[in-house]
Amino acid sequence: MALTFKSIYEKAINLFDDPIIQRAYVEDTVRWERLMYPHLENGINQFSNPTKIAYLLVDQKLPSGQVEVFDGNGTAVYNVSADFVPEEGAEFSFRIGTQYDPAAKYENGVVTFSREVPVGSKCGVEWYSPGQFNTDFKEAASSTTSADVIAYKVRDILARALVLAWATNEEDFLLDIRRNLNDTDFKLYSEANSIRSKVEWVNQLKFQLDSLTTKLAWDVVSRKYHGGNYYG
């Protein structure tokens, strides 16, 4: 079975040390996945060991999707155009104005929003297919490590690589913008501890990533030998 990007996102979301990000994933999964894809790309590009796995990760089905916007006409039901063709298994996101509409639905070319959209307002639908790796990892399997186990471990590695790529590129990730404390001394103490906690979180992810990558490299070259294992 192919390793989907969605399965990596689902693993990564639990690694984020930020409830706002976790909530954003629940509220509009499609938008979150689109925003996180560049960080997944960065994580994939940094995956160089084991080389056999890195080679297999080159074969991908890239994310795809379409957006269609409607002019509100006072109703809740809208027909999409003929060229709006969702892929099988696609995810959907619906908006009225700038607000996400979690109760809206799409079926057979018809979008039904949870409420009537006023004249003069905009509403829209987006379908999105997150993408996947086309390999089943059988080429990398060994007598001691199955293809499914390799896929599971690659998922865990890339989930951490994604989060680290996000942390590296997030300019303000060390600055918690939600800190609005009035007491100066307590504020400084809180900020110092928050930054320390963030740094420890990143260092922990780096350690986990290195450990998982090293273990996977050993697993890929491991072979059975007289009831035990040898490498090479």
Instruction: Give the three-class secondary structure for 133.
Output: strand
pLDDT band at 185 (very low <50, low <70, confident <90, very high): very low
State percent of the chain over pLDDT 90. 59
- Residue whose entry in the numeric block shows the structure tokens 């471990």: 153
The answer on pLDDT for 184 being more than 50 is no
Per-residue confidence (pLDDT) for residue 166, from 0 to 100:
86
Whole-prediction pTM: 0.80
- Residue ranges covered by each domain of the chain: 9-63+139-231, 65-129
Cα–Cα distances in angstroms (integers) from residue 5 to residues 9, 10, 48, 152, in the given order: 6, 9, 18, 12
Question: Does a cis peptide bond (omega within 30 degrees of 0) precede residue 50?
Answer: yes
Q: Per residue in 4-47, pLDDT tens?
A: 999 999 999 988 877 778 888 888 999 899 989 999 999 999 88
Q: What is the pLDDT of residue 27?
A: 87
Checking DSSP bridges between strand 222-225 and strand 64-71, what pairing results, if any?
Answer: unpaired
What value does the mean pLDDT take over residues 131-138? Answer: 94
pLDDT interval class at 48 (50, 70, 90): confident
Strand boundaries in the chain, DSSP class E? 3-4, 60-61, 64-71, 77-79, 91-96, 99-100, 105-107, 110-112, 122-129, 132-133, 222-225, 228-231
Mean pLDDT score of the chain: 85
- Tell me the two tokens of residue 65: 């999707």
Alpha-carbon distance of 139 to 175, in angstroms, equals: 44
Does residue 181 register a pLDDT over 80?
A: no
